[in-house]
Chain A
Amino acid sequence: MSVIELTNVSRWYGNVVAVNDITMSIGPGVTGLLGPNGAGKSTILHMIAGFLATSKGTLTVNGGPSWENPEIYRTLGLVPERDSVYAFLTGEQFVRATAKLHKLPDPDAATRRAIEITDMAAAQDRRISTYSKGMRQRIKVAAALVHDPEILLLDEPFNGMDPRQRLHMMDLLGKLGAEGRVILFSSHILEEVEKLSGTIQVMVAGRLAASGDFRAIRRLMTSRPHVFTVRSSDDRRLAAVLVGRPYTSAVEFTGRGSLQVRTSDFGAFCAQIAPLSRDNGIALRELLPTDESLESVFGYLVSNQANQGS
Protein backbone atom coordinates (compact mmCIF):
# COMPACT_ATOMS: atom_id res chain seq x y z
CA MET A 1 0.00 0.00 0.00
CA SER A 2 1.54 3.29 -0.95
CA VAL A 3 0.63 6.63 0.51
CA ILE A 4 2.39 9.08 -1.76
CA GLU A 5 1.71 8.68 -5.47
CA LEU A 6 3.34 10.64 -8.27
CA THR A 7 2.15 10.01 -11.79
CA ASN A 8 4.04 11.61 -14.68
CA VAL A 9 4.83 14.62 -12.54
CA SER A 10 6.82 17.46 -14.09
CA ARG A 11 7.71 20.87 -12.76
CA TRP A 12 9.38 23.64 -14.68
CA TYR A 13 10.43 27.19 -13.95
CA GLY A 14 10.14 29.17 -17.14
CA ASN A 15 12.31 27.29 -19.62
CA VAL A 16 14.11 25.21 -17.04
CA VAL A 17 12.75 21.77 -16.26
CA ALA A 18 13.45 20.92 -12.62
CA VAL A 19 11.50 17.66 -12.49
CA ASN A 20 10.85 15.69 -15.61
CA ASP A 21 8.04 13.15 -15.89
CA ILE A 22 8.50 11.31 -12.61
CA THR A 23 6.31 8.40 -11.63
CA MET A 24 6.84 6.81 -8.24
CA SER A 25 4.95 5.56 -5.26
CA ILE A 26 6.18 5.71 -1.73
CA GLY A 27 4.83 3.53 1.05
CA PRO A 28 5.62 2.81 4.70
CA GLY A 29 9.26 2.51 5.72
CA VAL A 30 12.28 4.62 4.98
CA THR A 31 12.79 5.94 1.46
CA GLY A 32 15.82 7.96 0.45
CA LEU A 33 15.61 10.44 -2.41
CA LEU A 34 19.17 10.66 -3.62
CA GLY A 35 20.92 12.67 -6.25
CA PRO A 36 23.43 15.42 -6.83
CA ASN A 37 22.57 19.04 -6.05
CA GLY A 38 20.12 20.47 -8.53
CA ALA A 39 18.67 17.07 -9.45
CA GLY A 40 15.19 18.14 -8.40
CA LYS A 41 14.99 16.45 -4.99
CA SER A 42 13.80 19.53 -3.13
CA THR A 43 11.32 20.33 -5.86
CA ILE A 44 9.80 16.85 -5.44
CA LEU A 45 9.66 17.18 -1.66
CA HIS A 46 8.10 20.63 -1.87
CA MET A 47 5.44 19.37 -4.27
CA ILE A 48 4.62 16.43 -1.97
CA ALA A 49 4.51 18.79 1.03
CA GLY A 50 2.04 21.10 -0.71
CA PHE A 51 4.43 24.02 -1.07
CA LEU A 52 4.69 23.88 -4.84
CA ALA A 53 2.19 23.10 -7.58
CA THR A 54 3.00 20.53 -10.22
CA SER A 55 3.32 21.87 -13.75
CA LYS A 56 2.00 18.62 -15.14
CA GLY A 57 0.91 15.21 -13.85
CA THR A 58 -0.88 14.19 -10.69
CA LEU A 59 0.40 13.95 -7.16
CA THR A 60 -1.64 12.58 -4.29
CA VAL A 61 -0.99 12.10 -0.61
CA ASN A 62 -3.38 9.61 0.99
CA GLY A 63 -5.52 9.84 -2.12
CA GLY A 64 -5.96 13.61 -2.06
CA PRO A 65 -4.04 16.54 -3.47
CA SER A 66 -1.46 18.28 -1.29
CA TRP A 67 -1.43 21.62 -3.13
CA GLU A 68 -3.74 24.19 -1.53
CA ASN A 69 -4.90 21.59 0.97
CA PRO A 70 -3.66 22.41 4.50
CA GLU A 71 -5.68 19.46 5.86
CA ILE A 72 -2.86 17.12 4.78
CA TYR A 73 -0.71 18.55 7.58
CA ARG A 74 -2.81 16.58 10.06
CA THR A 75 -1.07 13.43 8.82
CA LEU A 76 2.12 14.91 7.36
CA GLY A 77 5.15 16.47 9.02
CA LEU A 78 7.80 18.45 7.16
CA VAL A 79 11.39 19.15 8.17
CA PRO A 80 12.53 21.88 5.80
CA GLU A 81 16.14 22.22 4.70
CA ARG A 82 16.50 25.84 5.71
CA ASP A 83 17.60 26.36 9.23
CA SER A 84 15.32 29.25 10.00
CA VAL A 85 13.05 28.72 12.96
CA TYR A 86 11.70 31.11 15.56
CA ALA A 87 15.15 31.28 17.14
CA PHE A 88 14.01 33.46 20.04
CA LEU A 89 11.90 30.59 21.40
CA THR A 90 13.31 27.78 23.48
CA GLY A 91 13.20 24.33 21.92
CA GLU A 92 10.33 23.35 24.18
CA GLN A 93 8.33 26.51 23.42
CA PHE A 94 8.78 25.92 19.69
CA VAL A 95 7.55 22.32 19.85
CA ARG A 96 4.67 23.24 22.18
CA ALA A 97 3.60 26.12 19.90
CA THR A 98 3.53 23.66 17.01
CA ALA A 99 1.43 21.25 19.11
CA LYS A 100 -1.04 24.05 19.83
CA LEU A 101 -1.19 25.10 16.18
CA HIS A 102 -2.22 21.52 15.44
CA LYS A 103 -4.90 21.90 18.16
CA LEU A 104 -3.81 18.65 19.79
CA PRO A 105 -5.95 17.56 22.74
CA ASP A 106 -2.94 17.30 25.08
CA PRO A 107 -0.17 19.60 23.81
CA ASP A 108 2.00 19.07 26.91
CA ALA A 109 2.15 15.31 26.55
CA ALA A 110 2.71 15.56 22.80
CA THR A 111 5.56 18.03 23.35
CA ARG A 112 7.21 15.80 25.94
CA ARG A 113 6.93 12.77 23.69
CA ALA A 114 8.37 14.53 20.63
CA ILE A 115 11.28 15.97 22.60
CA GLU A 116 11.98 12.59 24.10
CA ILE A 117 11.97 10.80 20.73
CA THR A 118 14.50 13.27 19.34
CA ASP A 119 16.59 13.19 22.52
CA MET A 120 16.36 16.94 23.05
CA ALA A 121 15.21 16.99 26.68
CA ALA A 122 18.56 18.24 27.98
CA ALA A 123 18.50 21.33 25.76
CA GLN A 124 14.75 22.00 25.68
CA ASP A 125 14.89 25.10 27.88
CA ARG A 126 17.61 26.83 25.90
CA ARG A 127 16.82 29.29 23.14
CA ILE A 128 17.07 27.78 19.66
CA SER A 129 19.49 30.57 18.72
CA THR A 130 22.07 28.87 20.96
CA TYR A 131 21.66 25.44 19.30
CA SER A 132 24.21 23.73 17.08
CA LYS A 133 23.26 22.75 13.56
CA GLY A 134 22.54 19.18 14.59
CA MET A 135 20.36 20.27 17.50
CA ARG A 136 18.37 22.62 15.29
CA GLN A 137 17.82 19.76 12.91
CA ARG A 138 16.54 17.60 15.77
CA ILE A 139 14.24 20.23 17.23
CA LYS A 140 12.78 20.71 13.75
CA VAL A 141 12.17 16.95 13.62
CA ALA A 142 10.55 17.13 17.08
CA ALA A 143 8.18 19.87 15.88
CA ALA A 144 7.38 17.91 12.72
CA LEU A 145 6.62 14.79 14.80
CA VAL A 146 4.60 16.45 17.54
CA HIS A 147 1.24 15.51 15.99
CA ASP A 148 2.35 11.91 15.46
CA PRO A 149 2.11 12.10 11.65
CA GLU A 150 1.88 9.09 9.41
CA ILE A 151 4.19 10.75 6.86
CA LEU A 152 7.44 12.55 7.62
CA LEU A 153 9.31 14.44 4.91
CA LEU A 154 12.88 15.60 5.54
CA ASP A 155 14.86 17.81 3.17
CA GLU A 156 18.60 17.12 3.48
CA PRO A 157 18.36 16.15 7.18
CA PHE A 158 22.04 15.11 7.37
CA ASN A 159 23.43 18.38 6.06
CA GLY A 160 25.98 19.90 8.38
CA MET A 161 25.77 17.12 10.94
CA ASP A 162 28.81 15.50 12.46
CA PRO A 163 29.11 11.70 12.12
CA ARG A 164 27.68 11.03 15.57
CA GLN A 165 24.64 13.22 15.01
CA ARG A 166 24.20 11.62 11.60
CA LEU A 167 24.20 8.16 13.14
CA HIS A 168 21.66 9.28 15.72
CA MET A 169 19.39 10.74 13.05
CA MET A 170 19.65 7.57 10.96
CA ASP A 171 18.73 5.47 13.98
CA LEU A 172 15.74 7.69 14.62
CA LEU A 173 14.55 7.54 11.00
CA GLY A 174 15.02 3.78 10.98
CA LYS A 175 12.94 3.45 14.14
CA LEU A 176 10.18 5.67 12.80
CA GLY A 177 10.13 3.70 9.56
CA ALA A 178 9.93 0.40 11.43
CA GLU A 179 6.83 1.72 13.23
CA GLY A 180 5.13 1.73 9.84
CA ARG A 181 5.45 5.44 9.10
CA VAL A 182 6.27 6.78 5.68
CA ILE A 183 9.68 8.42 5.99
CA LEU A 184 11.00 10.22 2.92
CA PHE A 185 14.26 12.11 3.07
CA SER A 186 16.57 13.65 0.51
CA SER A 187 20.35 13.56 0.45
CA HIS A 188 23.07 14.29 -2.05
CA ILE A 189 25.67 11.99 -0.52
CA LEU A 190 25.15 8.27 -0.97
CA GLU A 191 27.74 7.22 1.59
CA GLU A 192 25.94 9.36 4.13
CA VAL A 193 23.02 7.03 4.28
CA GLU A 194 24.68 3.64 4.04
CA LYS A 195 23.51 2.64 7.51
CA LEU A 196 19.87 2.94 6.56
CA SER A 197 17.95 0.13 5.06
CA GLY A 198 14.98 0.63 2.86
CA THR A 199 14.28 1.87 -0.61
CA ILE A 200 16.07 4.53 -2.53
CA GLN A 201 15.10 6.61 -5.50
CA VAL A 202 18.03 8.11 -7.38
CA MET A 203 17.42 11.33 -9.28
CA VAL A 204 19.72 12.87 -11.85
CA ALA A 205 18.90 16.05 -13.76
CA GLY A 206 15.21 15.99 -12.93
CA ARG A 207 14.67 12.37 -13.88
CA LEU A 208 14.35 9.20 -11.88
CA ALA A 209 17.61 7.38 -12.66
CA ALA A 210 17.40 4.29 -10.50
CA SER A 211 15.23 2.95 -7.79
CA GLY A 212 15.22 -0.07 -5.61
CA ASP A 213 16.55 -1.67 -2.48
CA PHE A 214 19.35 0.11 -0.63
CA ARG A 215 21.70 -2.85 -0.79
CA ALA A 216 21.28 -3.39 -4.52
CA ILE A 217 22.05 0.25 -5.23
CA ARG A 218 25.00 0.17 -2.89
CA ARG A 219 26.44 -2.84 -4.67
CA LEU A 220 26.19 -0.92 -7.89
CA MET A 221 28.01 1.91 -6.20
CA THR A 222 30.96 -0.08 -4.91
CA SER A 223 31.40 -2.08 -8.10
CA ARG A 224 31.55 1.05 -10.22
CA PRO A 225 34.91 1.72 -11.91
CA HIS A 226 37.37 3.72 -9.86
CA VAL A 227 40.32 5.64 -11.22
CA PHE A 228 43.62 5.99 -9.34
CA THR A 229 46.72 7.99 -10.04
CA VAL A 230 49.84 5.98 -9.17
CA ARG A 231 53.49 7.08 -8.92
CA SER A 232 56.20 4.47 -8.53
CA SER A 233 59.89 3.83 -9.06
CA ASP A 234 59.12 2.00 -12.31
CA ASP A 235 55.81 2.95 -13.88
CA ARG A 236 56.24 0.79 -16.99
CA ARG A 237 56.94 -2.33 -15.01
CA LEU A 238 54.06 -1.65 -12.66
CA ALA A 239 51.77 -1.11 -15.64
CA ALA A 240 52.78 -4.44 -17.11
CA VAL A 241 52.10 -6.21 -13.81
CA LEU A 242 48.74 -4.50 -13.33
CA VAL A 243 47.52 -5.30 -16.82
CA GLY A 244 47.84 -8.96 -15.97
CA ARG A 245 45.35 -8.65 -13.13
CA PRO A 246 41.62 -9.27 -13.60
CA TYR A 247 40.53 -6.17 -11.68
CA THR A 248 42.47 -3.79 -13.95
CA SER A 249 40.40 -2.50 -16.81
CA ALA A 250 42.79 0.14 -18.20
CA VAL A 251 46.23 1.61 -17.62
CA GLU A 252 47.39 4.88 -19.11
CA PHE A 253 50.64 6.84 -19.01
CA THR A 254 49.83 10.43 -18.21
CA GLY A 255 53.16 11.81 -19.38
CA ARG A 256 53.65 13.57 -16.06
CA GLY A 257 55.53 10.71 -14.49
CA SER A 258 52.47 8.88 -13.28
CA LEU A 259 50.01 6.18 -14.24
CA GLN A 260 46.26 6.29 -14.39
CA VAL A 261 44.75 2.97 -13.46
CA ARG A 262 41.12 2.17 -13.93
CA THR A 263 39.83 -0.71 -11.87
CA SER A 264 36.55 -2.54 -11.92
CA ASP A 265 36.94 -3.84 -8.37
CA PHE A 266 37.71 -1.15 -5.83
CA GLY A 267 38.27 -3.55 -2.94
CA ALA A 268 40.58 -6.01 -4.69
CA PHE A 269 42.69 -3.25 -6.20
CA CYS A 270 43.18 -1.51 -2.87
CA ALA A 271 44.06 -4.74 -1.11
CA GLN A 272 46.58 -5.94 -3.69
CA ILE A 273 48.39 -2.92 -5.11
CA ALA A 274 50.88 -2.69 -2.23
CA PRO A 275 51.92 -6.38 -1.98
CA LEU A 276 51.97 -6.57 -5.77
CA SER A 277 54.46 -3.72 -6.07
CA ARG A 278 56.62 -5.06 -3.28
CA ASP A 279 56.77 -8.57 -4.78
CA ASN A 280 57.92 -7.09 -8.07
CA GLY A 281 60.52 -4.87 -6.47
CA ILE A 282 58.73 -1.66 -7.33
CA ALA A 283 58.57 1.19 -4.78
CA LEU A 284 55.12 2.74 -4.57
CA ARG A 285 55.44 6.48 -4.07
CA GLU A 286 51.90 7.74 -4.37
CA LEU A 287 48.42 6.30 -4.69
CA LEU A 288 45.63 8.78 -5.17
CA PRO A 289 41.99 8.13 -5.91
CA THR A 290 40.99 10.51 -8.67
CA ASP A 291 38.47 12.95 -7.40
CA GLU A 292 35.16 11.80 -8.76
CA SER A 293 32.35 14.23 -8.98
CA LEU A 294 29.02 13.12 -7.63
CA GLU A 295 27.61 13.69 -11.06
CA SER A 296 29.88 11.01 -12.51
CA VAL A 297 28.90 8.58 -9.77
CA PHE A 298 25.20 9.14 -10.31
CA GLY A 299 25.79 9.19 -14.05
CA TYR A 300 27.27 5.73 -13.77
CA LEU A 301 24.15 4.53 -11.98
CA VAL A 302 22.02 5.92 -14.77
CA SER A 303 23.94 4.19 -17.54
CA ASN A 304 23.98 0.98 -15.56
CA GLN A 305 20.25 1.13 -15.07
CA ALA A 306 19.83 1.72 -18.80
CA ASN A 307 21.99 -1.31 -19.62
CA GLN A 308 20.00 -3.52 -17.29
CA GLY A 309 16.80 -2.31 -18.85
CA SER A 310 17.84 -3.04 -22.44
Chain B
Amino acid sequence: MSAYFNPVIASITVRATLGRRRALLFAIPAAVLIALTLAVRATHPAGNSWAAQVLGDFGFSVLLPLLALIVGTGVLGAEIDDGSGIHLLATPVRRSSIVFTKFVVAAVLTMAFAAIPELIAGLLAPGSGKLAVALFAGALVGSVIYTAAFVMTSVLTTRAIAVGLLYVLVWEGLLSNTVGGARILSIAHYSLGVANAIYPDPDLRAGLTLSTSVILGAIVTAGALILASRRLSAFAIKGEPA
Protein backbone atom coordinates (compact mmCIF):
# COMPACT_ATOMS: atom_id res chain seq x y z
CA MET B 1 0.00 0.00 0.00
CA SER B 2 2.68 2.51 0.98
CA ALA B 3 4.51 1.66 -2.23
CA TYR B 4 1.45 2.85 -4.13
CA PHE B 5 0.34 5.77 -1.97
CA ASN B 6 2.35 8.93 -2.59
CA PRO B 7 1.91 11.57 0.16
CA VAL B 8 3.27 14.44 -1.97
CA ILE B 9 0.69 13.80 -4.68
CA ALA B 10 -2.01 13.36 -2.04
CA SER B 11 -1.35 16.70 -0.35
CA ILE B 12 -1.27 18.61 -3.66
CA THR B 13 -4.49 16.87 -4.71
CA VAL B 14 -6.28 17.75 -1.48
CA ARG B 15 -5.24 21.39 -1.79
CA ALA B 16 -6.28 21.51 -5.45
CA THR B 17 -9.64 19.87 -4.74
CA LEU B 18 -10.63 21.75 -1.60
CA GLY B 19 -8.96 25.06 -2.38
CA ARG B 20 -10.75 28.21 -3.46
CA ARG B 21 -13.71 27.58 -1.14
CA ARG B 22 -14.73 24.45 -2.99
CA ALA B 23 -14.93 22.65 0.36
CA LEU B 24 -17.96 24.81 1.14
CA LEU B 25 -19.53 23.84 -2.17
CA PHE B 26 -19.10 20.16 -1.36
CA ALA B 27 -20.71 20.69 2.03
CA ILE B 28 -23.93 22.12 0.56
CA PRO B 29 -25.48 18.81 -0.66
CA ALA B 30 -24.63 17.22 2.69
CA ALA B 31 -26.31 20.12 4.50
CA VAL B 32 -29.37 19.67 2.27
CA LEU B 33 -29.58 16.00 3.18
CA ILE B 34 -29.43 16.70 6.89
CA ALA B 35 -31.90 19.61 6.61
CA LEU B 36 -34.28 17.42 4.62
CA THR B 37 -34.09 14.70 7.27
CA LEU B 38 -34.86 17.21 10.02
CA ALA B 39 -37.78 18.66 8.06
CA VAL B 40 -39.37 15.28 7.40
CA ARG B 41 -38.82 14.25 11.01
CA ALA B 42 -40.70 17.36 12.16
CA THR B 43 -43.68 16.69 9.88
CA HIS B 44 -43.85 12.86 10.18
CA PRO B 45 -42.82 12.16 13.75
CA ALA B 46 -44.50 8.76 13.94
CA GLY B 47 -43.62 7.17 10.65
CA ASN B 48 -40.59 4.98 10.35
CA SER B 49 -40.56 3.96 6.71
CA TRP B 50 -39.68 7.38 5.27
CA ALA B 51 -36.16 7.21 6.66
CA ALA B 52 -35.10 4.46 4.32
CA GLN B 53 -36.72 6.29 1.42
CA VAL B 54 -35.24 9.74 2.04
CA LEU B 55 -31.80 8.42 2.90
CA GLY B 56 -31.91 5.76 0.22
CA ASP B 57 -33.41 7.82 -2.59
CA PHE B 58 -31.72 11.13 -1.95
CA GLY B 59 -28.61 10.03 -0.09
CA PHE B 60 -27.76 6.99 -2.19
CA SER B 61 -29.16 7.92 -5.58
CA VAL B 62 -28.32 11.62 -5.71
CA LEU B 63 -25.85 12.82 -3.09
CA LEU B 64 -23.37 9.94 -3.13
CA PRO B 65 -22.98 9.43 -6.89
CA LEU B 66 -22.94 13.13 -7.76
CA LEU B 67 -20.35 13.98 -5.14
CA ALA B 68 -18.23 11.01 -6.17
CA LEU B 69 -18.59 12.16 -9.78
CA ILE B 70 -17.39 15.70 -9.10
CA VAL B 71 -14.53 14.62 -6.84
CA GLY B 72 -13.56 11.49 -8.78
CA THR B 73 -13.36 13.17 -12.17
CA GLY B 74 -11.65 16.22 -10.64
CA VAL B 75 -8.69 14.74 -8.76
CA LEU B 76 -6.82 13.63 -11.87
CA GLY B 77 -8.97 14.73 -14.80
CA ALA B 78 -8.81 18.44 -13.98
CA GLU B 79 -5.04 18.58 -14.13
CA ILE B 80 -4.88 16.45 -17.26
CA ASP B 81 -7.29 18.87 -18.93
CA ASP B 82 -5.56 22.07 -17.87
CA GLY B 83 -2.06 20.74 -18.54
CA SER B 84 -0.62 21.08 -15.04
CA GLY B 85 -0.55 17.29 -14.75
CA ILE B 86 2.43 17.25 -17.12
CA HIS B 87 4.64 18.32 -14.23
CA LEU B 88 3.52 15.27 -12.29
CA LEU B 89 3.79 12.92 -15.26
CA ALA B 90 7.30 14.13 -16.15
CA THR B 91 8.66 12.41 -13.05
CA PRO B 92 9.57 8.75 -12.60
CA VAL B 93 6.63 8.16 -10.21
CA ARG B 94 4.85 4.96 -11.17
CA ARG B 95 1.63 5.58 -13.07
CA SER B 96 -0.20 3.06 -10.90
CA SER B 97 0.95 5.02 -7.87
CA ILE B 98 -0.45 8.27 -9.31
CA VAL B 99 -3.81 6.63 -10.03
CA PHE B 100 -3.99 4.88 -6.67
CA THR B 101 -3.14 8.04 -4.69
CA LYS B 102 -5.68 10.12 -6.60
CA PHE B 103 -8.27 7.41 -6.01
CA VAL B 104 -7.60 7.24 -2.26
CA VAL B 105 -7.92 11.02 -1.93
CA ALA B 106 -11.16 11.05 -3.92
CA ALA B 107 -12.63 8.15 -1.94
CA VAL B 108 -11.77 9.73 1.41
CA LEU B 109 -13.22 13.10 0.38
CA THR B 110 -16.39 11.43 -0.88
CA MET B 111 -16.69 9.57 2.42
CA ALA B 112 -16.29 12.84 4.31
CA PHE B 113 -18.83 14.77 2.26
CA ALA B 114 -21.35 12.02 1.47
CA ALA B 115 -20.99 8.96 3.71
CA ILE B 116 -20.57 10.80 7.01
CA PRO B 117 -23.56 13.12 6.36
CA GLU B 118 -25.51 9.98 5.53
CA LEU B 119 -24.58 8.61 8.96
CA ILE B 120 -25.57 11.85 10.70
CA ALA B 121 -28.90 11.96 8.83
CA GLY B 122 -29.49 8.31 9.67
CA LEU B 123 -28.95 8.94 13.36
CA LEU B 124 -31.37 11.89 13.22
CA ALA B 125 -34.08 9.74 11.68
CA PRO B 126 -36.40 7.97 14.10
CA GLY B 127 -36.20 4.25 14.65
CA SER B 128 -33.28 1.96 14.67
CA GLY B 129 -29.76 3.35 14.82
CA LYS B 130 -28.88 0.19 12.98
CA LEU B 131 -30.37 1.65 9.79
CA ALA B 132 -27.98 4.57 10.11
CA VAL B 133 -25.00 2.24 10.48
CA ALA B 134 -26.18 0.12 7.55
CA LEU B 135 -26.57 3.14 5.29
CA PHE B 136 -23.19 4.46 6.42
CA ALA B 137 -21.51 1.15 5.56
CA GLY B 138 -23.24 1.12 2.19
CA ALA B 139 -22.17 4.70 1.51
CA LEU B 140 -18.53 3.91 2.43
CA VAL B 141 -18.53 1.02 -0.03
CA GLY B 142 -20.20 3.22 -2.63
CA SER B 143 -17.61 5.98 -2.14
CA VAL B 144 -14.80 3.56 -2.93
CA ILE B 145 -16.37 1.99 -6.03
CA TYR B 146 -17.82 5.19 -7.50
CA THR B 147 -14.58 7.16 -7.20
CA ALA B 148 -12.53 4.32 -8.73
CA ALA B 149 -14.95 4.24 -11.68
CA PHE B 150 -14.95 8.01 -12.11
CA VAL B 151 -11.16 8.38 -11.81
CA MET B 152 -10.94 5.83 -14.62
CA THR B 153 -13.54 7.71 -16.68
CA SER B 154 -11.54 10.93 -16.32
CA VAL B 155 -8.42 9.25 -17.71
CA LEU B 156 -10.30 7.63 -20.59
CA THR B 157 -12.25 10.65 -21.81
CA THR B 158 -12.22 14.42 -21.55
CA ARG B 159 -16.02 14.32 -21.25
CA ALA B 160 -15.92 12.40 -18.00
CA ILE B 161 -18.63 14.45 -16.25
CA ALA B 162 -21.09 13.92 -19.12
CA VAL B 163 -20.33 10.19 -19.27
CA GLY B 164 -20.64 9.92 -15.49
CA LEU B 165 -23.95 11.78 -15.43
CA LEU B 166 -25.36 9.53 -18.13
CA TYR B 167 -24.31 6.51 -16.11
CA VAL B 168 -25.82 7.81 -12.88
CA LEU B 169 -29.04 9.16 -14.37
CA VAL B 170 -29.81 6.74 -17.19
CA TRP B 171 -28.16 3.47 -16.20
CA GLU B 172 -28.63 3.63 -12.45
CA GLY B 173 -31.62 5.94 -12.21
CA LEU B 174 -33.70 4.42 -14.95
CA LEU B 175 -32.48 1.08 -16.25
CA SER B 176 -31.33 -0.61 -13.07
CA ASN B 177 -34.72 -0.02 -11.45
CA THR B 178 -36.76 -1.24 -14.41
CA VAL B 179 -34.48 -3.80 -16.07
CA GLY B 180 -33.27 -6.27 -13.46
CA GLY B 181 -30.11 -7.25 -15.33
CA ALA B 182 -28.78 -3.70 -15.31
CA ARG B 183 -28.32 -3.97 -11.54
CA ILE B 184 -25.31 -6.22 -12.06
CA LEU B 185 -23.40 -3.16 -13.21
CA SER B 186 -24.95 -0.64 -10.86
CA ILE B 187 -22.72 0.76 -8.14
CA ALA B 188 -25.80 2.10 -6.31
CA HIS B 189 -27.08 -1.45 -6.05
CA TYR B 190 -23.75 -2.74 -4.71
CA SER B 191 -24.01 -0.10 -1.97
CA LEU B 192 -27.65 -0.93 -1.24
CA GLY B 193 -26.79 -4.63 -1.17
CA VAL B 194 -24.27 -4.00 1.61
CA ALA B 195 -26.64 -1.73 3.55
CA ASN B 196 -29.50 -4.18 3.22
CA ALA B 197 -27.38 -7.04 4.53
CA ILE B 198 -26.70 -5.13 7.74
CA TYR B 199 -30.26 -3.89 8.22
CA PRO B 200 -32.77 -5.63 5.95
CA ASP B 201 -35.48 -3.16 4.95
CA PRO B 202 -37.79 -3.61 1.93
CA ASP B 203 -37.95 0.17 1.53
CA LEU B 204 -34.30 0.18 0.49
CA ARG B 205 -35.32 -1.84 -2.58
CA ALA B 206 -31.99 -3.63 -2.66
CA GLY B 207 -31.70 -5.84 -5.73
CA LEU B 208 -28.44 -7.71 -5.11
CA THR B 209 -27.26 -9.99 -2.34
CA LEU B 210 -24.32 -9.09 -0.12
CA SER B 211 -21.87 -11.50 -1.71
CA THR B 212 -22.78 -10.45 -5.25
CA SER B 213 -22.43 -6.80 -4.26
CA VAL B 214 -19.04 -7.24 -2.61
CA ILE B 215 -17.54 -9.45 -5.31
CA LEU B 216 -18.74 -7.31 -8.21
CA GLY B 217 -17.76 -4.14 -6.37
CA ALA B 218 -14.22 -5.42 -5.80
CA ILE B 219 -13.88 -6.47 -9.44
CA VAL B 220 -15.14 -3.10 -10.72
CA THR B 221 -12.82 -1.16 -8.38
CA ALA B 222 -9.70 -3.17 -9.21
CA GLY B 223 -10.53 -3.24 -12.91
CA ALA B 224 -11.10 0.51 -13.05
CA LEU B 225 -7.80 1.28 -11.29
CA ILE B 226 -5.79 -1.10 -13.46
CA LEU B 227 -7.32 0.26 -16.66
CA ALA B 228 -6.73 3.85 -15.53
CA SER B 229 -3.05 3.09 -14.76
CA ARG B 230 -2.58 1.47 -18.16
CA ARG B 231 -4.13 4.42 -19.93
CA LEU B 232 -2.07 6.92 -17.97
CA SER B 233 1.14 5.05 -18.87
CA ALA B 234 0.39 5.80 -22.51
CA PHE B 235 -0.63 9.38 -21.86
CA ALA B 236 -0.23 11.52 -24.98
CA ILE B 237 -0.35 15.29 -25.08
CA LYS B 238 -3.20 16.29 -27.33
CA GLY B 239 -1.63 17.76 -30.43
CA GLU B 240 -3.44 19.81 -32.99
CA PRO B 241 -2.68 18.45 -36.43
CA ALA B 242 0.07 20.85 -37.50
Contact = CB atoms under 8 A, between A and B. Distances in A.
Interface residues of B, number: 31
Interface residues of A, number: 44
A86 B84 contact: yes
10 contacts: A13-B239, A17-B242, A40-B242, A51-B235, A52-B237, A67-B234, A73-B91, A73-B92, A84-B79, A143-B87
A201 interface: no
B239 A97 contact: no
Given A88-B19, A89-B12, A102 B239 contact: no
Interface string A182-209: 0000000000000000000000011000
Nearest to B19: A88
B38 interface: no
A205 B241 CA distance: 11
B83 A16 contact: no
A14 B241 contact: yes
A82 interface: yes
Given A18-B242, A73-B92, A78-B86, A68 B8 contact: no
A216 interface: no
A260 interface: no
Contacts, number: 95
Contact of B95 (A70, A74, A77): A70
Contacts of B235: 51
A111 interface: no
Interface of A: 13-14, 16-18, 38-40, 42-43, 46, 49, 51-53, 67-68, 70-71, 73-74, 76-78, 80, 82, 84-89, 94, 97-98, 100-103, 140, 143-144, 205-206
B23 interface: no
A56 to B, nearest CB: 16
A101 B93 contact: yes
Contacts of A17: 242
Contacts of B82: 84
B128 interface: no
A115 to B, nearest CB: 16
Contact of B241 (A13, A70, A74): A13
Given A42-B239, A43-B239, 8 more contacts: A13-B240, A16-B241, A40-B242, A80-B90, A85-B84, A86-B87, A100-B8, A206-B242
